[in-house]
Structure 1
Amino acid sequence: MTDRSELQRLCVHESVDEKFPKEAFVDAFDDVDIPAELVGDDATYEATDVVASFAPREAFTEAGWVHVIRAGYDAFDTDAYESSGTPLTNSTGVHATTVGEIAVGYMLSFARVLHVYRDHQNENEWYEPGYDRPFTIENERLCVIGLGTLGEGIAKRADALGMEVVGVRRSEESVPSVSELYHPDDLHEAIGDARFVAVAVPHTPATDGLLSAAEFETIRAEAYVINVARGPVIDTEALIDALETGEIAGAALDVFDTEPLPAESPLWDFKEVIISPHRGSATNRYHLDIADLLKENVRRYQAGEELRNRVA
């Protein structure tokens, strides 16, 4: 789209507070030529406005362009944006470092039993694990399912720690830090020998329940499963069964079918399950990473260039 009105205002919708302090996000645009201001649900929009938001609102299609401050945009009606001609962009591509770090953090915790030490610390107990319980992740095999931004970020950091990294993707294009690629049809072969299996695929009809009972039977009993993708990519009931029967050693989960995770979920009760509240990308500079992407797209918009991460 090149027939654009010049942007006059950058509107930060108050829903961004779901992810980071809204005032700090507004302040991040002090060096942009157009003024940034915080808006609520009563705001109206013109073709000269760009809106940055966490949540969708019907009025947004009146703006010149709308940016979603997260990678997932399924809550936004893409058909409505296509019909209105209002570009919709998302924040894919800024999560490689943050999600890669938390995935490696999970692996290090399992390997060096950091979560177990903390459990005993909470009980004022001096705990010494058995000699063969802790292990090093160097030379251990990691299978990353999905090698987009998230998967590549995980692979890069795991490779830097000396892990053997293999990946699952449809494309045959090589990926730095990944020693071997498997097609999704060969998923069982890819995960069979892995000490860690990290899921980093988007949730689509094709990936719904990607890891289910058959996959947990294939994964070795000493393996840990990590999900930083979307909850439904893993069959939760099958995961619980695998944990209860010892088919896998444990799991680190940042995403769930229902969020927040209900208090009655059995997942809370497993000592070898690490639960984080869908904050894999949350750091003290996440808002700055999103702002940098948005600033680049403001420049592109004003210049009539193609926007990064356009999804509608």
Structure 2
Amino acid sequence: MPVSAGQDSSTVTVLHGGDAPPGLSERVGGSRLRLAVSPEELADALPGSDVLLTWDFTSDAVRRVWSPELTTDLRWVHTASAGVDKVAFPELLASRVVLTNSRGVFDRPMAEFVLGAVLAFAKDTAGSLALQRDATWRHRETETVAGKIATVVGSGPIGHAIAHLLGAVGMTVRLVGRRATDGVHAFDELPGLLPDTDFLVLAAPLTDATRGMLHTGTIALLPERARVINVGRGPLVVQDDLVGALAAGRLAGAALDVFEVEPLPADSPLWTMENVLVSPHMSGDVVGWKDMLVELFADNLVRFREGAELRNVVDKERGYVSSTSGGIQ
């Protein structure tokens, strides 16, 4: 979708939460930068800005301060994340403002993270570390992953990258997307896929259709041997239902990188469950990831100033980058 500043420069406001994008000032040419940490600073910076970069993608400051008076000149919002749930609120979606995301930066790292979790479960890495701490020599048999069935919910670039790596170690992978396409099952087919699933991987965007998709009812369709891996968004899972199933032995384990509330509260039972791997929303964050995010935004900024097609334009009706806007669902 072409969108232009209509001039050689632009005014870019950056919501960064105290961790400013590295090297951004050197990458934006003659654009004017306004840095904002708090909602109050964002409200002061927005008037006259035609570009907003939400570097702090966990903040809801944009939603809190949004008003026609402050966003009269705003043409484009870019979020430094693959998910857009923090900025895809009704007022922005109904506006003329174009929304883009950082699709493509996290695909391979998140796929490697998922593969690592699969292998950690199969080879009982947590058990070996616990025995090592106690200086206990205990021979065990572990599982092979070859031939295991992984159902991956989310058929975008991240889901495809996950499927590629899991397939490379001999797993049978089934991709699930919004609709059925070549090699992809439709979302409404998911209940029929769960009974023989060994690993259920959630890598879908958070939409009205996917929110709370893993609950007591869907968990009941999974075999007790199944493990759940969530690298999508925390609210894809009804967390209390998952905790109850894990505690009751209804599921064999879970690797969770995202949660309903982040940071995960210290009193959450997930911290101390032996069959749970907890990580702090870091599955896509590898060495150099911030530089890659800046590179993507800087490239799009050049396109914006030239009136060229922007990368990763989010379909406002679907809530993600669709095949008709430069990406796949």
Q: Same fold (TM over 0.5)?
A: yes
Indicate if the aligned counterparts of 2:25 and 2:33 stay in contact, CA closer than 8 A.
no
TM-score (norm 2): 0.79
Shift of 1:278: 1.3
Which of 153, 174, 177 is the equivalent residue of 1:166?
Answer: 174
Residues 170-196 of structure 1, C-alpha deviation per residue, up to 9 Å, x if partnerless?
333225xxxxx4333332321211221
Shift of 1:45: 5.1
Sort the Cα spacing of 1:230 and 1:77 in 2 relative to 1 into closer, same or farther, 3 A.
Answer: closer
Alpha-carbon distance in structure 1 between the residues aligned to 2:284 and 2:32 = 24
Aligned to 2:221: 218
Aligned to 2:131: 120
Shift of 1:145: 1.4
Which of 248, 251, 258 is the equivalent residue of 2:254?
Answer: 251
Aligned to 1:275: 278
Shift of 1:255: 1.1
Number of matched residues? Answer: 298
Which stretch of the first structure deviates more once superposed, 271-280 or 197-206?
197-206
Kindly indicate whether residue 9 of structure 2 is the aligned counterpart of residue 13 of structure 1.
no
Kindly indicate whether residue 108 of structure 2 is the aligned counterpart of residue 108 of structure 1.
no
Q: Which amino acid in structure 1 is aligned with residue 80 of structure 2?
A: I
SS of equivalent to 1:192: helix
Which stretch of the first structure deviates more once superposed, 273-282 or 200-209?
200-209
Which of 61, 81, 94 is the equivalent residue of 1:70?
Answer: 81
Which of 162, 165, 173 is the equivalent residue of 1:157?
Answer: 165
Sort the Cα spacing of 1:38 and 1:143 in 2 relative to 1 into closer, same or farther, 3 A.
Answer: same
Kindly indicate whether residue 149 of structure 2 is the aligned counterpart of residue 146 of structure 1.
no
Q: Which amino acid in structure 2 is aligned with residue 167 of structure 1?
A: L
Alpha-carbon distance in structure 1 between the residues aligned to 2:177 and 2:297 = 29
Alpha-carbon distance in structure 2 between the residues aligned to 1:44 and 1:182 = 42
TM-score (norm 1): 0.83
Sort the Cα spacing of 1:310 and 1:7 in 2 relative to 1 into closer, same or farther, 3 A.
Answer: farther
Q: Which amino acid in structure 1 is aligned with residue 214 of structure 2?
A: L
Shift of 1:44: 5.2
Which of 228, 233, 258 is the equivalent residue of 2:231?
Answer: 228
Which stretch of the first structure deviates more once superposed, 1-10 or 165-174?
1-10
Shift of 1:111: 0.9
Aligned to 1:52: 53
Indicate if the aligned counterparts of 1:26 and 1:37 stay in contact, CA closer than 8 A.
no
Identity %: 31
Q: Which amino acid in structure 1 is aligned with residue 167 of structure 2?
A: D
Shift of 1:77: 6.1
Q: Which amino acid in structure 2 is aligned with residue 43 of structure 1?
A: A
The residue correspondences of 1:15-30 to structure 2 (distance < 5 A) are 15=16, 17=18, 21-22=19-20, 25-27=21-23, 30=26
- Consecutive unaligned residues of structure 2, counting only runs of 5 or more, are 317-329
Which of 138, 143, 155 is the equivalent residue of 1:135?
Answer: 143
Cα-Cα RMSD? 2.7
